[in-house]
Amino acid sequence: MGVPGSFELSAVTRPYYRSTYVFVTRRGRNLDIASFDDPQLRTLRVGVHLIGDDFANTPPAHALAARGIVGNVKGYSIYGDYTEPNPPTGILRALVADEIDVAVVWGPLAGSFALTSAVPLDLRPVSPQVDLPFLPMVYDIALGVRRADEPLRLALDEILVRRRADIDALLREYGVPRVDVVRHAGGS
């Protein structure tokens, strides 16, 4: 349902939204972090999602490590314990519980969580959008289909165009941070 527009393991439709990783903080703290180069990140308790033990971690984990910001960083598994509800939100629950000062999280997860959080949260898109040498923080999101199923891909593209307003409304309803608006007609 949601794969990066550059996903190589399948054919993809036109993107239906573009989102970003975000810095999430408790609103009352007024930290206003927007960049991986913000000096506050060297002293605050920073939470970041980790994927596994093979060094294939999230772009924010790599961006922080590249800046030497590691001693004050706590990793949270993106997978978690699925006997508990919504394990990827463990990092955000830790933020609300004041166990960390800032979480660097994929925008759609953070946006949805923030809508129902008992503690008001601020979300700020990370900067830069592409951390050098080439670490994207912003992704076009599309639908993935079997490579051989071009008729299905084309049919889904048509639906994405026709239902654009409904899709945009759902993304707003779930608090998905949008980096820009995807073009509506003709191209992607």
d(C-alpha 183, C-alpha 188), whole Å:
6
More confident residue, 33 or 34: 33
Does 133 sit behind a cis peptide bond, omega within 30 degrees of 0 on the bond before it? yes
pLDDT in tens, 94-139: 999 999 999 999 999 999 999 999 999 999 999 999 998 889 999 9
- Say how many C-beta atoms besides its own lie within 10 A of residue 146's C-beta: 10
For the chain, give every residue range classified as CATH 3.40.190.10: 22-135
Confidence of residue 186 (pLDDT cuts 50, 70, 90): very low
Domain 22-135 classification at class level: alpha beta
Length of the chain: 188
Residue with tokens 């990827």: 88
Q: Find, among 98, 136, 130, the residue nearest to 117 by Cα.
A: 98
180 beta partners: 18
Weakest-pLDDT range from 39-43, 47-51, 131-135: 131-135
pLDDT at residue number 54: 63
The two structure tokens encoding residue 104: 């660097």
Tell me how far CA of residue 128 lies from CA of 61, 63, 76, 108, 117, in angstroms.
14, 10, 23, 18, 27
pLDDT at residue number 180: 73
Q: What is the mean pLDDT of residues 9-29?
A: 96
Collapsing DSSP states into helix, strand and coil, what is residue 44?
A: coil
pLDDT in tens, 130-181: 998 889 999 999 999 999 999 999 999 999 999 999 999 999 999 999 997 5
Q: What is the mean pLDDT of residues 47-76?
A: 90
Instruction: Return all residues near 36 (Cβ < 8 A) that are at least 6 apart.
Output: 60, 63, 64, 67, 69, 126, 127, 128, 131
